[in-house]
Amino acid sequence: MSKQYVPIKKNDEIDVIFEDLTHDGKGVAKVDGYPLFVANALPGEKAKIKVSKLNKGYGFGRLIDLYEKSEFRIEPACPIFVECGGCQLQHLSYEGQLQAKEKQVRDVLERVGKLENVKVHPVFGMENPWHYRNKAQVPIGEHEGGLVGGFYKQRSHEIVDMEACLIQQEENDAVLQKVKSICGEFGVRAYNEKTHKGTLRHIMVRSGKVTGEIMVVLITRTPDIPNRRKLVERIVKEVPGIKSVVQNVNTKRTNVIFGEQTNVLWGEEFIFDYIGDVKFAISTRSFYQVNPEQTKVLYDKALEYAGLNGEETVIDAYCGIGTISLFLAQRAKKVYGVEIVPEAIEDARRNAELNGITNVEFEVGEAEKVIPRWYEQGVKADVLVVDPPRKGCDETLLQTIIEMKPEKVVYVSCNPATLARDLRVLEDGGYETVQVQPVDMFPQSVHVEAVALLQRRLSH
Ligand code: SAH
């Protein structure tokens, strides 16, 4: 069979059996080895599909008739599941989701990382995989004279109103509804992206899971908000737990949500929350994990894998606001954190101070530049933790790790494909992947987070 061979034609209607799920939640069926991706299909299902698009190595199809359903197929709990697109796996039972995520991690480690028989544990799921998000952020529009807020209909700029989001902490939804209706009452107009007129672009709500503290952020096109004083007074009066009302001004014609200027309209600049015993200050723009309950599970695992006894020097590359660093600092002699965003490092230093943690040092910069410099200056890590963005670790950083020879590397990953690629490099450089623990940070969505423990091989 030649590589160019495509066994089907566009608009063909064919019967298939789905074998797998893609990383974005589509079903995969193969015709003579040629893979077809189909939305809303699950592994094990038999269906008639219509071929809609053919590329060189793969194609797409649409589901026409489902003959045999997966035992894990369920009715999506959310009435706007299809329109919204924010969750991709609500048609798969939670048990099915966890199995699929475990398989995804194992398969990609084998296929991309060439790691046969690596120990991948069953995914740590949530007891209640709903209402976990601590941050809600919705675009605001107008419909029949009133304000609406929710989500953009898939592949459009139309804003659909949403009363409840099932993965949002319930109080966030209630606050959003209230703020939306108060703004409407005071005559605030929604931003219109076509005319670049109107005021309110987005509303964001952040809440502290442990503390119950609430921050409301109004993202506006102009510095002025009609009836601002009264409007803020009403929000403060009607939102229980409110600690902070903030305005962010975004004057630009852009679909980037935030602008440069942030003003506190009432209360504090921060709200607080805890992960385990560590207290964090969260500002409007701070990066903070959106699922605090599972974050604790993930960091506990990272800490366990680090296996600290109080004598170690630890490096936390890609440290963000210092969440993992501060967790590790409680058990290490010294922790160094590096992160590229200056504001995140300011937050990290503040968070260290807030917790009276003095054995950490943070630096702004690229991990692949700062860590080699530390190494030259004589900093030698016993344990190195990385938690890179989706694109994975920079190649230079991986080479520095291989030279520096920390006893252990703990790799926290939000993208199994780049995890697999990077583990291969570290394996070839003298490390052994001992075990991998996936953690479900984003139930109902296709995302999967995993933490891997690597140990330096004795012969290297
Ligand atoms: N460990 C943190 C943040 C992880 S997200 C936490 O759990 O909260 C990944 C972080 O890597 C982001 O904060 C991003 O700003 C940062 N980053 C991206 N590229 C980087 C680079 N080249 N060097 C250092 N940090 C980088």
Do 240 and 342 lie in one domain? The reply is: no
Domain boundaries, position 378: 100-127+291-456
| Res 87: pLDDT | 92
Total structural domains in the chain?
3
Rounded to whole angstroms, the Cα distance separating 106 from 263 reads 46
Please count the helices (runs of H) and the strands (runs of E) in the chain.
10, 21
CB 195 within 8 A of CB 224: no
Domain boundary (243, 275, 307) is at 275
Domain annotation covers residue 163: yes
pLDDT of residue 167: 97
**Residue 272 φ then ψ, to 5°:** -115, 155
Residue 78 lies in a domain: no
The reply to whether 280 falls in a domain is: no
Residues with CB under 6 A from ligand 1: 287, 289, 318-321, 323-324, 338-341, 344, 366-368, 387-389, 394
User: Distance from the CA of 318 to the center of ligand 1, in angstroms?
Assistant: 4
Same domain as 376, residue 240: no
Q: Ligand 1 pocket test: which of 294, 340, 395 has the largest number of ligand atoms within 8 Å of its C-beta?
A: 340
**Are 411 and 320 in the same domain?**
yes
Identify whether residues 303 and 405 lie together within a single domain: yes
Q: What are phi and psi of 197, to 5 degrees?
A: -120, 175
- Ligand 1 atom with least separation from CA of 325: 1
pLDDT of res. 285? 87
| 299 annotated as a binding-site residue | no
229 and 155 in one domain? yes
* 113 shares its domain with 163: no
* Whether residue 414 lies in the annotated active site: yes
76 within some domain:
no
Note whether 106 and 198 are same-domain residues: no
Asked if residue 95 belongs to a domain, the reply is no
Nearest CA to ligand 1 atom 16: 318
275 CA to middle of ligand 1, Å?
A: 18
State how far the Cα of 327 lies from the Cα of 389, in Å rounded to an integer.
20
Q: Is 440 annotated as a binding residue?
A: no
Q: What is the pLDDT along the chain (460 residues), one digit of tens a residue?
A: 445 678 899 999 999 999 999 988 999 999 999 999 999 999 999 999 999 999 989 999 999 999 999 999 999 999 999 888 889 999 999 999 999 999 999 999 999 999 998 999 999 999 999 999 999 999 999 988 889 999 888 778 888 889 899 999 999 999 999 999 999 999 999 999 999 999 999 999 999 999 999 999 999 999 999 999 999 999 999 999 999 999 999 999 998 999 999 999 999 999 999 999 999 999 998 889 999 999 999 999 999 999 999 999 999 999 999 999 999 999 999 999 999 999 999 999 999 999 999 999 999 999 999 999 999 999 999 999 999 999 999 999 999 999 999 999 999 999 999 999 999 999 999 999 999 999 999 999 999 999 999 999 986 5
Claim to verify: residue 355 and residue 401 sit in the same structural domain: yes
Q: The CATH number of the domain where 208 resides is what?
A: 2.40.50.1070
Output the domain CATH number for residue 314: 3.40.50.150
Let me know the angle formed at the C-alpha of 288 by 165 and 192, rounded to the nearest 5 degrees: 55
Alpha carbon of 344 to ligand 1 centroid (Å): 9
The DSSP symbol for 56 reads S
323 and 359 fall within a common domain: yes
CATH code for the domain in which residue 66 is found: 2.40.50.140
Alpha carbons 55 and 79: distance in angstroms, whole number = 33
Residues 157 and 265 occupy one common structural domain = yes
Torsion, CA 194, CA 155, CA 164, CA 62, rounded to 10: 160
Does residue 4 fall inside a structural domain?
no
Are residues 250 and 207 located together in one domain of the fold?
yes
Residues 417 and 314 in one domain: yes
The answer to whether residue 54 sits within a structural domain is yes
Picking from 311, 335, 313, the residue whose alpha carbon sits closest to that of residue 324 is 335
> Is residue 143 one of the residues assigned to a domain?
yes
- pLDDT value, residue 365: 97
The one-letter code for the residue type at 52 is: S
